[in-house]
Structure 1
Amino acid sequence: MPKRARQAGNAVTILDVARHAGVSPMTASRVINDNPNVGEAMRERVLASVKTLGYRPNLAGRSLRTSSTARIGVLYSNPSAAYLNQFMLGILEQSSLSGSQVLIEKCSGIRSQRAATQRLLDAGVDGVILPPPLCDSAQTLQELDERQIPTIAVATGAPQEGVGSVRIDDYQGARAMTRYLLDLGHRDIGFIKGDPKHTPSALRAAAFFDTMAEAGIQVPAEHVAQGMFTYRSGLAAAAELLKRKRRPTAIFSSNDDMAAATMAVAHGMGLRVPEELTVVGFDDTPVATTVWPELTTIHQPVTAMGRTAVTLMLEEIRRNRSGRPKAQVHQVMKYTLVKRQSSAPPAR
């Protein structure tokens, strides 16, 4: 059955266009913003949806203008598609409401970061939002600072002077999860670390070890494995933990992708979750409710963080255009421990 346009009177957003065309919000944004890095077939599909839905940018935020609409750059290299999609939903929702334009660039290594940053600068962006892990890239932050480009770092564990930020308290979130596992009765708890280049990884790990120590429990080295926030790294880390002679009764993974991988390894070994192994994660990305059983995790309001990042960025752009100093707002948002079916007391 063909998808129908919204009824008159309901504002059509870029997210509606993306859903109608069957593409990601980022692809829809690239087409609408006339980015050349989109295939012709994909471009035609999105433009057809724009025409069918009658999409028009929301111009309520035009008061931001001095000489042109605010152009916000987003530079990303996040390996978690689930996290990135949630984040971009917030970015695109808020930018549509404000009438601002979003330019998106992907990068990987240092050389790629420089090139992607330069493309944004050449395109005349008024500010740049950096989701993880680029929120902690000293090279990118320094380059943007030298160009006097307002910058918002999202989900950094180490907010810096001169750079606004949006984050949760990763340390307290990980403490809450560790306490929850201890309250269930678990003592042999395994832990999968995240990418060491991303500052929240260290905070989550520190919270786990500190909370275990407060409970009088020394975590053996064989109960700790290194991951990189990717599903593939989670497979290797979980296999390392679960093949030990002394297997943990619960595994706390530093993000949901690695937790999902842990459950896959457990299922492959014939271990029942949560009857024989409790698995918990962090972030509450869509994968948390698509795996079986559904994942107990720390909810990080990723979409709301994207919206907030745009709001803070627009204020920084206003201040920059009027010659006022940076506001340097550091917004800490609330986390929530979400209990689902992947956690239970240890088997007796």
Structure 2
Amino acid sequence: MARRSGSVTIKHVAADAGVSLQTVSRVINNEPTVRAETVGRVQASINRLGYVPSIAAQRMAGSRSRLIVALNDRDRTLADWRERRGVDWVDQMLLGGMLTCAQHGYRMIVELVDTHSDHITRELSAALAAIQPDGMLLTPPHSQNPLICGLLEERGISFARIGSLKEGAGFRLTMDDEHAAALATEHLLGLGHRRIAFIAGPDDYELSAWRVAGWRAAMAAAGLAGDEGLVAGDFSYASGLAAARALLDGDTPPTAIIASNDQMTIAALAAVRERGLDVPRDVSLVSFDDTPIVRFTHPPLTAVIQPIAEVCARAVALIIEHPAGSCDVHQPIVVPAGLAVRGSTAAVSSR
């Protein structure tokens, strides 16, 4: 009687094929040291028994753990989950990362770490010892943390840095935030807007400065000075509300606002309505991220589409293809963002 696939182990495959456990493991790991005839026999046993390789079996050869850890910011991630804010950064990260891992026989694990913790090295060392990953995917602001990057380099662990262009170890990947901000600004300029304000993200994110630079460059190219329309937030709804109120209550309120994430843009929408103004008739709004919620606001928000899944897929592929010590990718990899034009932007009012 055939065994159920869930009950079949590597021992059953080895016995059926008449080879050692290590040989089965080498076949599973696609190692070139096994003779073609043996590979065929082992593969036939795997197919006949319906065996599904486990991570433990794949690790028996002692080469790779087949685990990749995605490191995400603890406080901001937990806050989003608890508040059920509809932020899908982690969802998109997993979509790109997990699917790519699965294609190569790997698994992805998410770890939440506070990048500002005084114990970051100890906390990360404990995670590395427990998981023993082949590589790590660092998201902002971890991707620019020298303690994290230095520890991974010291341990010889391959890693990718999303949203960081700082020189140093690790693969560097960006979503071309500077160009994306310029794209959003140019869209508004094309609609006739000249007083275009910008709500920036926090300074501890490298990409915050890139987005400001893109906005400034587009404004300067149009012969406009933009610095008086620059305010900063911290990616939270509260900070976006305060920033938008300050802009709208100024001596020369903007006719358009770009905010560095969806939460701050939704807050700006609320601030506009507090003043009895209409979006987009009186104020146009453009957001970053394009999380699901912005498609269901009234009006739906024009937003920069960040290709998070694609970037994470590229990052995971690089880690798998280039184990520590064999990196031949030195230039930053850019996966460009796009712009979804919706109902929150319109031609500047003649009033």
TM-score, with structure 2 as normaliser: 0.74
CA distance in 1: counterparts of 2:327 and 2:138, whole angstroms: 20
Task: Tell me which of 293, 307, 311 is aligned to 1:305.
Answer: 311
Matches within 5 A, 1:1-348: 67-77=63-73, 79=76, 81-108=87-114, 109-123=116-130, 124-156=132-164, 158-219=165-226, 221=228, 223-317=229-323, 320=324, 324-325=326-327, 327-328=329-330, 330-348=332-350
Contact 2:65 2:133 in 1 (8 A): no
Residue matched to 2:84: none
Code of the residue aligned with 1:291 in structure 2: it is: T
The change in CA–CA distance for 1:194 and 1:69 in structure 2 (over 3 A counts) is same
CA distance in 2: counterparts of 1:173 and 1:65, whole angstroms: 45
CA distance in 2: counterparts of 1:284 and 1:83, whole angstroms: 10
The change in CA–CA distance for 1:290 and 1:309 in structure 2 (over 3 A counts) is farther
CA distance in 2: counterparts of 1:334 and 1:63, whole angstroms: 36
Root-mean-square deviation (CA, aligned residues, Å) is 2.5
CA distance in 1: counterparts of 2:64 and 2:226, whole angstroms: 56
The change in CA–CA distance for 1:84 and 1:185 in structure 2 (over 3 A counts) is same
TM-score, with structure 1 as normaliser: 0.75
Q: For residues 9-63 of structure 1, what are the alpha-carbon distances to aligned partners after superposition, in whole Å with 9 as ceiling and x for unaligned?
A: xxxxxxxxxxxxxxxxxxxxxxxxxxxxxxxxxxxxxxxxxxxxxxx7899xx69
The change in CA–CA distance for 1:329 and 1:187 in structure 2 (over 3 A counts) is closer
Contact 2:65 2:134 in 1 (8 A): no
CA distance in 2: counterparts of 1:113 and 1:57, whole angstroms: 34
CA distance in 2: counterparts of 1:292 and 1:92, whole angstroms: 34
**Quick one: percent identity of the two aligned structures?**
31
Give the deviation of 1:289 after TM superposition.
1.4
SS across alignment from 1:110: coil
Code of the residue aligned with 2:67 in structure 1: it is: R
SS across alignment from 1:105: strand
> What stretches of structure 2 of length at least 5 have no aligned partner?
1-51, 81-86
The change in CA–CA distance for 1:113 and 1:232 in structure 2 (over 3 A counts) is farther
Contact 1:58 1:97 in 2 (8 A): no
Residue matched to 2:34: none
Contact 2:139 2:162 in 1 (8 A): yes
CA distance in 1: counterparts of 2:119 and 2:88, whole angstroms: 22
